[in-house]
């Protein structure tokens, strides 16, 4: 072995693992696995902080969206907001769908949930507002025999640009495969400093878009506009409750730039 190859081997065995460890150390948990400290629930028809029927709960270190205490859904769409707004970051988490959809849940919400980014402040939502103005990273599980990708994007009160063109369709499918069963899926969302948003599922890029913006034709979004500006470059992170039991774990964030 030459001196050069020896030095290279030493570098690979020492510097690279150290770099990887440092990279992992940069991740900061935003869910402590014990309780909902730092999070606040907002349900349609209810005031901020009212976690109705213990929908969002922590059990065995997992954050659960549970409908065990419901007789029927009753249109009570919910969101659990993290305490801090962010501008540029990477967010990763594991999720899975379990059990049966609660009685009265809409058909499209079967094995359907989401994580909202760039969401409006929860205290600015109307009492009966179903969804915050935001960008939704939509999470889906298999239903029937048809392909049903996950890591999609939906746009309540917003628009995005996809491949350089303004996209006004409410939901756009990703390139991910369909996930069946109750297994854990790892998702990651990257919001770059230039505003580009990229979705990853199990380490594979499945969606990318730019120029997230408010939809001025939406009344809730229009109320948030300042000086006619539509750019949406920061906001809150929120987990959805759309009628199907879901579990989340390992919620972590890194390289954060908090919104001012």
Q: Which domain holds residue 109?
A: 31-258
Q: At 39, which CATH number?
A: 2.60.120.560
At 157-213, the pLDDT tens digits run 999 999 999 998 999 999 999 999 999 999 999 999 999 999 999 999 999 999 999
Confidence at residue 255, expressed as pLDDT on a 0 to 100 scale = 74
Shared domain for 104 and 22, answered yes or no, is no
Q: What angle do CA 138, 140, 142 make, to 5 degrees?
A: 165
Handedness of CA 117, 120, 121, 125 (dihedral sign): negative
Shared domain for 43 and 150, answered yes or no, is yes
Confidence at residue 8, expressed as pLDDT on a 0 to 100 scale = 41
pTM of structure: 0.89
H or E element in which residue 157 lies: none
DSSP helix/strand/coil, 128: coil
Shared domain for 110 and 178, answered yes or no, is yes
Burial class (CB in 10 A: 0-12, 13-18, 19+), 61: exposed
Shared domain for 23 and 35, answered yes or no, is no
Low-confidence ranges of the chain (pLDDT < 70): 1-25, 256-260
H or E element in which residue 6 lies: helix 3-25
Burial class (CB in 10 A: 0-12, 13-18, 19+), 240: buried
Give the chain's domain count: 2
Are residues 80 and 244 in contact, defined by beta-carbon separation less than 8 angstroms?
Answer: no
Confidence at residue 59, expressed as pLDDT on a 0 to 100 scale = 97
Distance CA 228, CA 14 (A): 53
């Amino acid at each position: 072995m030459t001196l050069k190859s020896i030095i290279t081997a030493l570098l690979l065995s020492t510097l690279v693992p150290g770099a990887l460890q440092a990279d992992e150390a940069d991740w900061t948990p935003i869910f402590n696995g014990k309780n909902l400290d730092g999070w606040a629930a907002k349900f349609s028809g209810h005031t901020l902080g009212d976690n109705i029927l213990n929908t969002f709960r922590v059990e065995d270190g997992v954050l659960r969206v549970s409908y065990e205490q419901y007789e029927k859904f009753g249109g009570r769409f919910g969101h659990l907001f993290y305490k801090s707004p962010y501008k540029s970051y990477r967010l990763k988490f594991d999720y899975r769908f379990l059990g049966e959809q609660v009685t009265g849940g809409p058909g499209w919400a079967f094995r359907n949930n989401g994580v909202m980014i760039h969401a409006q402040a929860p205290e600015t939502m109307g009492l009966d507002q179903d969804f915050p103005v935001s960008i939704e990273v939509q999470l889906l599980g298999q239903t029937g025999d048809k392909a049903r990708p996950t890591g999609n994007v939906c746009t309540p009160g917003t628009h995005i640009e996809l491949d350089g063109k303004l996209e006004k369709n409410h939901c756009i499918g990703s390139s991910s495969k369909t996930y069946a069963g109750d297994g854990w899926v790892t998702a990651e969302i990257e919001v770059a400093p230039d505003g580009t948003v990229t979705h990853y599922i199990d380490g594979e890029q499945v969606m990318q878009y730019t120029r997230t913006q408010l939809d001025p034709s939406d009344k809730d979004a229009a109320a948030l506009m300042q000086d006619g500006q539509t750019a949406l470059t920061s906001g809150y992170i929120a987990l959805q409750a759309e009628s199907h039991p879901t579990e989340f774990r390992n919620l972590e964030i890194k390289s954060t730039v908090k919104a001012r």
